[in-house]
């Protein structure tokens, strides 16, 4: 008889007691027996969050063996893959191996289904037996291992009309385009930072769709490569490259492009720290900044905005919003160019 677990997974928290699995320092990753409301997953691929992977790779001097060592250490210490420096996780692709007795027949999953988990690796019990391949260009790591999805954990079945690694890549950042869909109205000026990256491109597409011909989408990229890619996609009214850690310089460009009106909505999709003030300064009074980036500091954003007297609404990039998986996969289905770029980069 299986033991009954807590919906949110607190039964697996080892230390400190009483907290939820995400903030816990250590959780139980023993998979020999599962609780009656857990799903056991045979893991194939980890999609490490971009801010986390960039950080681990830098610490490892981009040496795959060192990356492996850091990843094993993280999981050994915490029972999950929460990057101790960025606090972020990622998500995973795997096959449902076992469904707890209490969930059987109550969910639309069966053993053998291929799924992507849509809850962070920073709270997901994980065991890594072997690291098979690291794909640094796409932050993906193929492993042999197991993971647990709690009763409250959300997931998406991998669609059959696209390669699974393509779906995994897009679902990793599904919160961003879906929040963009909610925030952007016809006629808005939307400024997207890190616009040539994975979540950035999805947001540009969604923003243009929502603001329509009367609105304006401005994309800020970094490298010439991502800048060229975004220009070619044609989703933005203006694309420029720059360094988002330079707030005043960037503000000037956005001011020129908007006749001093600045953005109604700014979406931050970078994978590096210290871009909070660029986001704030490029947004009009009473406008909205959506910080999707995991490298965002609450303190820097809050105190920085106060420091320049900016009355803007700031939204923390919740990775989940209703319908996020459907909105994201739909983008790849409806735009052939976007899908082509994603297939080239991530599939």
Q: Which residues bind ligand NAP (CB under 6 A)?
A: 49-51, 88, 172-173, 175, 194, 196-200, 220-223, 226, 243-245, 269-272, 292-295, 317, 319
Q: What is the dihedral of CA 307, 308, 310, 314, to 10 degrees?
A: -50
Radius of gyration of the chain from Cα atoms?
20
Decide: 312 and 305 in contact? Cβ < 8 Å: yes
Q: Which is nearer to ligand NAP, 35 or 276 (CB)?
A: 276
Least Å from the CB of residue 268 to ligand NAP: 8
Least Å from the CB of residue 195 to ligand NAP: 7
- Joined together, the tokens standing for residue 209 give 């769709």
Least Å from the CB of residue 139 to ligand NAP: 7
Q: Which is nearer to ligand NAP, 215 or 317 (CB)?
A: 317
Least Å from the CB of residue 106 to ligand NAP: 27
Q: Which is nearer to ligand NAP, 115 or 230 (CB)?
A: 230
Residue of 123, 110, 173, 175 whose CA lies nearest to 150? 123
Q: Which is nearer to ligand NAP, 91 or 211 (CB)?
A: 91
Q: Which is nearer to ligand NAP, 143 or 270 (CB)?
A: 270
Least Å from the CB of residue 229 to ligand NAP: 9
Q: Which residue is nearest to ligand NAP (CB)?
A: 197
Least Å from the CB of residue 293 to ligand NAP: 4
- DSSP-assigned states of every residue in 154-190: -EEEPPSSS-HHHHHHHHHTTHHHHHHHHH--TT-EE
Ramachandran sector of residue 272 (left: φ over 0; alpha: ψ -120 to 50; beta: rest): beta
Collect all residues with Cβ–Cβ distance below 8 Å to 182 and sequence separation of at least 6: 321
Q: Which is nearer to ligand NAP, 40 or 233 (CB)?
A: 233
Residue of 321, 327, 269, 331 whose CA lies nearest to 296? 269
């Amino acid at each position: 008889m299986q033991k009954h677990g807590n919906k949110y997974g607190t039964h697996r928290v080892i230390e400190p007691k009483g907290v939820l699995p995400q903030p816990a320092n250590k959780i139980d990753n023993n998979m020999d027996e599962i609780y009656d409301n857990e799903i056991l997953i045979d893991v194939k691929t980890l999609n490490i969050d971009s801010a986390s992977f960039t950080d681990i790779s830098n610490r490892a001097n981009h040496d795959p063996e060192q990356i492996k060592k850091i990843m094993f250490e993280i999981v050994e210490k915490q029972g999950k893959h929460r990057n101790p420096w960025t606090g972020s996780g990622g998500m995973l692709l795997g096959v449902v191996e076992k469904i707890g007795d209490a969930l059987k027949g109550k969910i639309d999953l069966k053993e053998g289904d291929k799924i992507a988990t849509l809850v962070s690796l920073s709270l997901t019990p994980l065991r890594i037996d072997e690291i098979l391949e690291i794909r640094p260009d796409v932050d993906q790591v193929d492993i042999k291992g197991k993971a647990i999805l709690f009763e409250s954990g959300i997931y998406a079945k991998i669609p059959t009309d696209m390669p699974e690694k393509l779906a995994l890549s897009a679902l990793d950042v599904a919160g961003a385009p879906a929040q963009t869909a909610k925030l952007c109205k016809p006629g808005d000026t939307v400024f997207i930072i890190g616009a040539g990256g994975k979540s950035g491109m999805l947001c540009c597409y969604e923003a243009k769709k929502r603001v329509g011909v009367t609105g304006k989408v401005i994309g800020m990229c970094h490298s010439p490569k991502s800048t060229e890619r975004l220009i070619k996609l044609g989703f933005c009214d203006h694309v420029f490259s720059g360094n988002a850690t330079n707030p005043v310089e960037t503000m000037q460009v956005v001011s020129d492009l908007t006749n001093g009106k600045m953005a109604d909505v700014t979406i931050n999709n970078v994978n590096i720290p210290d871009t909070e003030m660029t986001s704030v300064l490029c947004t009009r009074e009473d406008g909205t900044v959506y910080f999707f980036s995991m490298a965002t500091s609450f303190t820097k954003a809050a105190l920085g905005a106060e420091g320049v007297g900016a009355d803007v609404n700031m939204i923390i990039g919740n990775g989940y919003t209703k319908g996020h998986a459907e909105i994201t996969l739909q983008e790849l289905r409806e735009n052939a160019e976007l899908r082509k770029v994603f297939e080239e980069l991530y599939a």
